[in-house]
């Protein structure tokens, strides 16, 4: 299989679908001539031209609303948010229109729209450019929300997103754009609503999504040296959500730690912990533990940013606490 970076995998999926389907277009700020702030769309305008790779004004509410209208009338737009924080300017369009039009119309009108861009921290962009919005958008019925971590999943889930007849919130981690991995050739589609068992284990279940999954794999390797067998689950899909894989794993290991970059309160980790408690309470040998970002706006200074987000030592310590190996 060819090796691609995370950004190349996303670009490859978009290019494949634009070639296959003339109704697919890409639009956003600086995504054409400049190639995108993170170079995800680099070269697309040369291949498909400015009518299908559209440089927009700095007006998220305007171009997102335009894309919703395009989707309602037969096109399949892909909108880039330069950073997901800028989507706050378009939140009314996303939540009040994109998420609800199909329901309002009794299924007569669909909104096949993908909104994608960098989500979360780790790249020193400070408080107003560093939010993890999976819990925010995952709250609203009508939206699908995904957060791939591997280049293979990034391509496969982008293909699934473009072909879906519902609006998809595609959350990329800026810190992953340069990471590399094997990506299957051909029409490789990763379905929504199915978590990935990234590593099998028997003693404890470690659960995350996005760039935290790579931390879990490193922690699992470290714990293996201590005689602890950790199973690592990559959620991948926030809405729809794969409850079965999580519950099955916890029933096997009897312990769980959930890791996220976003703040602890009212979060994806809270939802995962609630699902485990509801469906696997009698199988638990310890409370479900959460490792989350600090309850502060994201700092700019690198040392403070590192302190504000979960790290491998915190995750390993939580796993040991769940196993009653340390307090």
Under 8 Å between Cβ of 261 and 309: yes
Concerning whether 139 is annotated as a catalytic residue, the answer is: no
Among candidates 174, 122, 118, 85, which has minimal Cα distance to 300? 122
- Residue 123 has what pLDDT? 79
Query: Residue 273 is inside which H or E element, if any?
Result: helix 268-280
Under 8 Å between Cβ of 127 and 297: yes
| pLDDT tens profile 141-179 | 999 999 999 999 999 999 999 999 999 999 999 899 999
Concerning whether 131 is annotated as a catalytic residue, the answer is: no
Domain count, the chain: 2
Distance CA 317, CA 270 (A): 19
Of 154, 182, 210, the domain-final residue: 182
Of 182, 208, 226, the domain-final residue: 182
pTM equals: 0.94
Q: Out of 8, 17, 60, 172, which one is annotated catalytic?
A: 60
Are residue 200 and residue 121 in the same domain, yes or no? Answer: no
Give the pLDDT band (50/70/90) at residue 268: very high
Buried b or exposed e, range 231-266, using 16+ CB within 10 angstroms: bbbbbbbbbebbbebbbbbbeebbbbbbbbbbbeee
Are residue 117 and residue 242 in the same domain, yes or no? Answer: no
| % of the chain residues with pLDDT over 70 | 100
Instruction: Kindly state the average pLDDT of the residues 6-14.
Output: 97
Q: Out of 17, 129, 131, 134, which one is annotated catalytic?
A: 129
Domain that holds residue 313: 196-322
């Amino acid at each position: 299989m060819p090796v691609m970076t995370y950004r190349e995998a996303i670009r490859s999926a978009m290019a494949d679908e634009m070639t296959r389907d003339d109704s697919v277009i890409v639009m956003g700020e600086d995504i054409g001539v400049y190639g995108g702030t993170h170079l995800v769309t680099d070269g697309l305008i040369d291949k498909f031209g400015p009518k299908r790779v559209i440089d927009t004004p700095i007006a998220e509410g305007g171009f997102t609303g335009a894309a919703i209208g395009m989707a309602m009338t037969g096109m399949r737009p892909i909108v880039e948010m330069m950073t997901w924080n800028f989507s706050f300017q378009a939140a009314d369009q996303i939540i009040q229109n994109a998420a609800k039009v199909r329901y309002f119309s009794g299924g007569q009108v669909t909104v096949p729209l993908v909104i994608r861009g960098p989500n979360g921290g780790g790249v020193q962009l400070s408080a107003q450019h560093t939010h993890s919005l999976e819990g925010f958008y995952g709250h609203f019925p009508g939206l699908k929300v995904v957060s791939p971590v591997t280049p293979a999943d990034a391509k496969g889930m982008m293909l699934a997103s473009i072909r879906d007849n519902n609006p998809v919130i595609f959350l990329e981690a800026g810190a992953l754009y340069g990471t590399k991995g094997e990506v299957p050739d051909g029409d490789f589609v990763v379905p929504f609503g199915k978590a990935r068992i990234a590593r099998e284990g028997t003693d404890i279940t470690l659960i995350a999504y996005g760039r935290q999954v790579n931390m879990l794999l490193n922690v699992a390797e470290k714990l293996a040296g201590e005689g602890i067998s950790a199973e690592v689950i990559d959620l991948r899909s926030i809405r729809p959500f794969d409850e079965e894989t999580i519950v099955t794993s916890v029933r096997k290991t009897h312990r769980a730690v959930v890791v996220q970059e976003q703040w602890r309160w009212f979060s994806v980790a809270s939802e995962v912990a609630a699902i485990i408690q509801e469906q696997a309470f009698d199988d638990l040998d310890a409370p479900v533990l959460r490792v989350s970002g600090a309850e502060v706006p994201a700092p700019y200074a690198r040392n403070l940013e590192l302190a504000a987000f979960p790290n491998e030592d915190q995750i390993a310590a939580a796993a040991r606490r769940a196993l009653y190996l340390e307090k």
